[in-house]
Amino acid sequence: MLSSMFGARPAGEPDPPEPEPEPSGRQHSDGDLLDELVATVGAAQAFQEFRRSQRKECFNLLRWLQLVLPLIEELQDASPPRPLTDDAHRRLALLSRAFQAARRLLRCCHDGSKIFLSLEAEAVQGRFRAVYEKINQALDGMPYSEIGISDEVKEQVELINTQLKRSKKRTDTQDMELAMDFMVVLQDKEDRSADRVILERLAKKLELQSLADLRAETMAIKKLINERNGQQPESTKQIIEILNKLKEVAGIDEKNILGEVHIPKYLEKCPSLMIPNDFLCPISLEIMTDPVIIASGRTYERRSIQKWLDAGQRTCPKTQQPLAHLSLAPNFALKNLILQWCEKNKVEMQTRADEPPVEEVSKEVLIPSLVKDLSSPNLDVQRKAAKKIRTLSKESPEDRTLIVDSDGIAALVGLLLYPDKKIQDNAVTSLLNLSIDEANKVLIAKGNAIPLIIEVLKNGNVEGQENSAATLFSLSMVDENKVAIGASGGMAPLVDLLKDGTIRGKKDASTAIFNLLLNHQNKLRAIEAGIVPVLLKILDNTKLGMVDEALSIFLLLGSNSACRGTIGTESFVETLVRIIKEGTPKNKECALSVILELGSHNNALMVHALGFGLQEHLTEIAKNGTSRAQRKANSLIQLAQKCQS
């Protein structure tokens, strides 16, 4: 359980009710209570950096704590000291507990798992609301006149209390985009460039791109697992799966975060060996054969750290400390210890000398030649070049840079309408691979590729259509490209692929459509393209396994007043109630969200849903559903009470 992060409670659950001290049995003297309040705010102020997903909320909470502080300081500075009345002492004791809950929450958002905080963002937001409610309860009815508080401080505190009361849950498009990314990553088991694009975006949003960040995240997740003590296993499994995929994208081979030692392939015959961690290179996580010390005092395998430095890095990979110089000093003492250990345990180490020499043309020479071959009059040469460019562009950022620097984007765009479907497919897939890098998304769009990619989406072969949809999804991560894709007529063929494509094609289309719908005008274009009956058909076909994707798109459409009139029908509401009754836990969460969106704007639809049996399901889910489903169910129960009153 999250004992240190959330006070020994699963995330998202409210604080347990604390017994209020009786007036005749105060737990602290007036002075100790005031000192505790000031110390708690001071401890909270020590946290100046927060995880990106809760950063804004944390700074708001810190600001409110600081603005309430003058109330405490004025009581401390009173001369002569004025005894607190029983009512004032009780309210300040409540305020102290609220401040302590705030400090715990701020600490969690300061050093907790970034993946957990983003994946469970809604639950964490519930913790913020609970803290605001505690502060409200303490400040409401504070007897200012009895404790001699100045009018200026009184007005400031009352203003803060009013602001806290008005504080409402915010769900912006960025959070919805992040939720969709998590959904796709956790559902998709294939290794495709489109999925790598999503992982790259997740890594950037979560700020988990460097070796140091991923190591810190690993430690935070280990701590989380220990504190959960076996509870919430499904959530823990998802967090570990996402971490492992982010490590793959970063090129780090360290999958098991549960404490087992990583054993490289050449030690698979000795599975019982426990390799000392000091013998492993922090970058490659393999036993070092040529350990060297860098300016920060850390030791790395020579070829691994040299590759790091050759890439232009000038910091220590483990500490991120700037390097005063780039010299590498052999660590002879550690090397001797490693050799002794290997000899004792009969481990044969492979050295660079043992590896067979490989003669190959340098990429700096090969890639410009391949780009030139894309324009060859020889069809066979073009095919081979397009296929090779597709392969090279998939994994290596360096290769992608060389392709772009060799004017590869223009050459590939020129092949998008080529009559040879295989060349066309390799060209669009290569652009998909290149778009993994953020800057290339803009360059590809500037190269007038979007209308041509849409043409492949309409008329290409099956694989070409799927990969063109994936490319549009990748490009649409840039807001300007969302507008361009919609204005170029991209929505209608995506809806067609969602309707008639293969399962893979439908999934690619759904993720692209979801991203495009974050733009207001594209919501209307989707309605005009006939997306509603297509989505309803997907909801009826549970074998596709795309109910969550369809409901997520419906939720975005429902956020637009013009679209609500199209999707907000009684028959659709009945479909949602059926999903709430029969669907998976995730299906239920999504369906509850859509009903809540529609019902909040149309009482008649809410009443119809209740008449169709929604109420009994809400009661059950509020008791036994997932944490997110419980919150949605409780919100709907409150909405139902308003509709029925």
CA distance 538 to 623: 29
Judged against a pLDDT cut of 90, whether residue 579 lies above it is answered with yes
Question: Which of the listed residues 526, 560, 594 is the one where a domain comes to its end?
Answer: 560
Q: Are residues 156 and 182 in the same domain?
A: no
Judged against a pLDDT cut of 60, whether residue 356 lies above it is answered with no
Show the domain range for 184. 174-255
Q: Are residues 53 and 151 in the same domain?
A: yes
The DSSP call for residue 292 is E
Please compute, for residue 350, the number of CA atoms within 13 A of its CA located in the half-sphere on the CB side: 8
Q: Are residues 100 and 143 in the same domain?
A: yes
Per-residue pLDDT, 9: 41
Q: Where does the pLDDT of residue 7 fall: very low under 50, low under 70, confident under 90, or very high at 90 and above?
A: very low
Q: Are residues 519 and 583 in the same domain?
A: no
Beta strand spans in 159-283 (E): none
For residue 405, being part of any structural domain is answered with no
Return the amino acid letter for 512.
Answer: A
Task: Tell me if 531 sits within 8 A of 495, measured CB to CB.
Answer: yes
Q: Are residues 233 and 110 in the same domain?
A: no
Q: Are residues 125 and 227 in the same domain?
A: no
Question: Which of the listed residues 255, 272, 303 is the one where a domain comes to its end?
Answer: 255
Q: Which two structure tokens, joined as six digits, stand for 504? A: 């893979």
Judged against a pLDDT cut of 90, whether residue 81 lies above it is answered with no
The lowest-confidence range among 176-190, 319-333, 419-433 is 176-190
The C-alpha R_g of the chain, in whole angstroms, comes to: 29
For residue 25, being part of any structural domain is answered with no
Overall domain count for the chain: 5
Beta strand spans in 495-602 (E): none
Q: Are residues 556 and 607 in the same domain?
A: no
For residue 10, being part of any structural domain is answered with no
**247-287 residue pLDDT tens:** 877 766 544 443 332 334 444 444 445 567 778 787 776 78
For residue 446, being part of any structural domain is answered with no
Q: Are residues 86 and 214 in the same domain?
A: no
Per-residue pLDDT, 542: 84
Among 490, 422, 486, CA closest to 457: 490
Per-residue pLDDT, 471: 94
Mean pLDDT of the chain: 82
| Percentage of the chain modeled with pLDDT above 70 | 86
Q: Are residues 185 and 116 in the same domain?
A: no
Q: Are residues 45 and 99 in the same domain?
A: yes
Q: Where does the pLDDT of residue 32 fall: very low under 50, low under 70, confident under 90, or very high at 90 and above?
A: confident
Q: Are residues 36 and 161 in the same domain?
A: yes
Q: Where does the pLDDT of residue 237 fall: very low under 50, low under 70, confident under 90, or very high at 90 and above?
A: confident
Per-residue pLDDT, 194: 60
Q: Are residues 36 and 136 in the same domain?
A: yes
For residue 298, being part of any structural domain is answered with yes
**For residues 55-74, average pLDDT:** 87
Judged against a pLDDT cut of 90, whether residue 644 lies above it is answered with no
Residue 521 burial by Cβ neighbours in a 10 Å radius (0-12, 13-18, 19+): middle
| Terminal-to-terminal C-alpha distance of the chain | 40
Question: Which of the listed residues 171, 195, 222 is the one where a domain comes to its end?
Answer: 171
Among 120, 138, 119, CA closest to 64: 138
Judged against a pLDDT cut of 90, whether residue 316 lies above it is answered with no
Chain-centre distance of CA 495, in angstroms? 27
Q: Where does the pLDDT of residue 24 fall: very low under 50, low under 70, confident under 90, or very high at 90 and above?
A: very low
Cα 22–Cα 28–Cα 33 angle in degrees, nearest 5:
115
* Higher pLDDT, residue 29 or 595: 595
**For residues 539-567, average pLDDT:** 91
For residue 501, being part of any structural domain is answered with yes
Per-residue pLDDT, 188: 60
For residue 199, being part of any structural domain is answered with yes
CA distance 392 to 365: 13
For residue 350, being part of any structural domain is answered with no
